[in-house]
Structure 1
Amino acid sequence: MTDQPLISKAGDTLAASDVYGIWKIRDAVFAVEQQCDEPDVDDQDLLEATHHLWFEDAEGPTSYVRLLTDPDGARRVGRVCTRREHRGAGQSGRLVQEVTRVWGDGVLHLNAQAHLEDWYGRFGYVRTGENFMEAGIDHVPMQRDPGIIR
């Protein structure tokens, strides 16, 4: 476990340094490590209905997650990532648990990288459809219904 404080901000309250740090970790994980073939910046990060949660050290975010709220109220968890040197410390799990604590009163949706289906299952997410390709990576649609205790 980390002793880093949890940071939670709505997209419309992010400072330029927050945006830089968020894009820096997502670029390192998704573009460099995973070689995703789609742009990460998608015009959703600065919206009032978008929430960002992360832990950070002096170099910026160490683990990060984004929660989108669609116009119809559906909540979508995404962009879950952890810097390589911080993996295995449970930071991503703590972030997913915090998303559930704060927003778990409704259905939560996510598109999990297929190799992480069982990991998300530990938090109450279940498969809702067939595998599909997103950003050049095999994904699984999943959701978590309210009231599941994990």
Structure 2
Amino acid sequence: MTASPHVKRGDELTAQDVYGIWRIRDIVFAVEQQCDEPDVDGLDLLPTTTHLWFADDLGPTSYLRTYVGTDGVRKVGRVATRKEHRGRGLSSALLRAVHERWGADEIRLGAQAYLEQWYASFGYQRCGEDFMEAGILHVPMRRPGR
């Protein structure tokens, strides 16, 4: 189906990697979704952050990052796929790659509310009340470790 994703820790990213990652996130979150908060949050270049993505000649086609928060729990976020690559299972493949590597541990995320059932199909469960982030309704979710 899909080739293996690129997987790099934040401290391993090249300038070209960072540019591509920020470009896909800018296109999806700032332009398409008109998020009202800055995307760059100080986590991307940390050695405790891991970036996973698929790419074509124009850069990342689908992307997510995962990191261990200050609470010691792994988080998944910034899941984004370029519009022309949606519906191909790329985000699903990235999420499965996260579960293959870190599925023994609890994983948490803030899902955009309309994606709650999609994340539930991967074993995530709601773990709190809805909240607003970047002007978009989100749902806190967790996936227990296996």
Tell me the TM-score normalized by structure 2.
Answer: 0.97
1:6 CA drift (Å): 1.0
Aligned length: 146
- What's the TM-score, normalizing by structure 1? 0.95
User: Is 1:130 matched up with 2:129?
Assistant: yes
1:146 Cα deviation (Å)? 1.2
Partners of 1:89 and 1:22 in 2: CA distance: 19
* 1:66 corresponding residue in structure 2: 65
For residues 61-116 of structure 1, what are the alpha-carbon distances to aligned partners after superposition, in whole Å with 9 as ceiling and x for unaligned? 00000001123421000000100000000000000011011011110000000000
Percent pairwise identity: 61
Other-structure match for 1:22: 21
Q: In 2, Cα distance between the equivalents of 1:79 and 1:89? A: 18
Matched to 1:119, the amino acid is W
Structure 2 unmatched ranges of 5 or more: none
| 1:37 to partner: Cα distance | 0.2
Moved over 6 A (4+): none
Q: What is the aligned partner in structure 1 of residue 110 from structure 2? A: 111
Which amino acid is 1:90 matched to?
G
| One-letter code aligned to 1:2 | T
CA contact (8 A) 1:106 1:145 kept: yes
Alpha carbon RMSD of aligned pairs, Å?
Answer: 0.9
